[in-house]
Amino acid sequence: MNLYDRNLAMLDKDVLSLCNLEGTYTAGELRNSVLRYESMLGPLNLEGKRIALIVPVLKEYIPLFLAANKLKATVAPLSYQLRREDLSDILEFLDPHIVFTVNEFSGFTFPEVITKWALGRETETLVFTSDNCTKWEVETFPGCSKNLQSDSGGFICFTSGSTGAPKGMVFKDDVMDYVYNRVLEAMNLESTDNVFVYASPSTQYGVASMNSILKAGATLVVADEFDLLNMINTMQKAKCNKVTTTPSIFKSLYNFASRLNPEVLNRLELVCVIGEKIPTNFRSHFPLLKNCTFVSHYGSSESGSLANAYINEDTEELIFRMADPVEFKTVEGELFVKTAGLFTEYYKNPILTQGAFEKGWFMMGDLVEFLDEKNFKIVGRKKDVIKKGGQQVISGEVEQILSNIVGVKSVAVVGAPHDVYGEQIVAYIIAEGLTSKDIRTYCTGKYASYKIPDQIIFTDEFPLTNGKVDKIKLKSRLGRG
């Protein structure tokens, strides 16, 4: 069953399903938008084709995603934060049959990069462009036919790869049944809820949470971009009682709303945070939310949702409870899982896919300690991943980016705690004739801003252990100031 039939088709047409600052939209109105896109795309025979979406207007993005999925295309939502090098790499890797893109977002002109890529291909590509994501113009770049997906439908979410190459996680439509139940548990979803979601719609959690809220018959409340004033005004307009986002974004929302409009906070019954490590004093930052329930939702893009932990006033260490349907075990302290929400494979990378599993068990990369049969705490991370503001950054990718700069002899990237973002990127660099400004200037416009180091520290040598850079010692240098 496609995502449209799963999540939207069965709702009463008068159910209020979506709210943003510009308006409110019923399930019937969203279904009409799906039909409009279905009529527009139907003649293109989408079965097995890949469609890339760079559509920041969510009232159009959601129906477009559902219509393409209903027509058995494989949808690849792409981040609006991608810039020239990132975007080109993903387009080359994905090789979509069709691209929908906004003309400009946050000062970046997407069609310039997309057109250059399409002209360099020998295969046919259709590119739809729009100023406001409602009236679309199409340009055909001629060529021979592209290969189709062996499994039609589903979606692909991209994240960073450890070598700098894109990493696409392929999901089948039926993972949504599992995902819906996990989001329902984490947020105690009811049809009367008005839930503000600020999660990138290009991520697995963005796709999962938005579709789950629609399916529950609740109102999905969204903001098309990170503008705190507009976000708070949208929450006020929708009378939001629940929120899900990253800890760092919620902290920014709270600090702004507590000064501007505390009434928005007074309505909140539940805050579900995802994507970042929770500091031990997290609740202390929100004195106006004494009666609000705080939940930390644990999982990964590949595994889907796995467990929840309640964050109390006196919580010093989060204790997660594994969801009942999850099969799990630990191997040398690392968490291995099997779930109905698992991704199918890494797109066009069977070696990486094989390396992520051991005899059918997905290796999470997190080191955990179980306190009993279901409850556990996270004690560390085996994978070299930095989680910054809800974005997953592979340190090896940033190292490769910086190594391309003329004058950089060697680089080592580590994550360090940050009060707002959860973690920040720190780059230790051995270089000649370069400044921090030179490095940031090189990266700006080429790569997503969240990949650019927050701190750049020049050094003469790296500490080594067994011939490799000792990143633990580098982190300890930060601890000493």
Asked whether residue 208 falls in the same domain as residue 324, the answer is yes
pLDDT the model gives residue 473: 83
Last residue of a domain, one of 383, 406, 427: 383
Asked whether residue 322 falls in the same domain as residue 435, the answer is no
Q: What is the pTM of this model?
A: 0.85
Asked whether residue 352 falls in the same domain as residue 391, the answer is no
Asked whether residue 335 falls in the same domain as residue 450, the answer is no
pLDDT the model gives residue 315: 72
pLDDT the model gives residue 68: 98
Last residue of a domain, one of 319, 351, 383: 383
- Structural domain containing residue 418: 385-479
Last residue of a domain, one of 337, 354, 383: 383
For 341-385, write each residue's pLDDT tens digit. 999 999 999 999 999 999 999 999 888 999 999 999 988 767 777
For 274-290, write each residue's pLDDT tens digit. 987 787 678 988 999 99
Give the contacts of 120 (CB within 8 A, at least 6 positions apart).
none
CB 390 within 8 A of CB 226: no
Asked whether residue 112 falls in the same domain as residue 234, the answer is yes
Asked whether residue 428 falls in the same domain as residue 356, the answer is no
Ranges in the chain, pLDDT < 50: 481
pLDDT the model gives residue 160: 64
pLDDT the model gives residue 129: 98
DSSP sequence for 315-357? -SS--EEE-TT-EEEEETTEEEEE-TT---EETT-HHHHHHHE
Asked whether residue 289 falls in the same domain as residue 392, the answer is no
Rounded to 10 degrees, the C-alpha dihedral 376/382/387/393 comes to -150
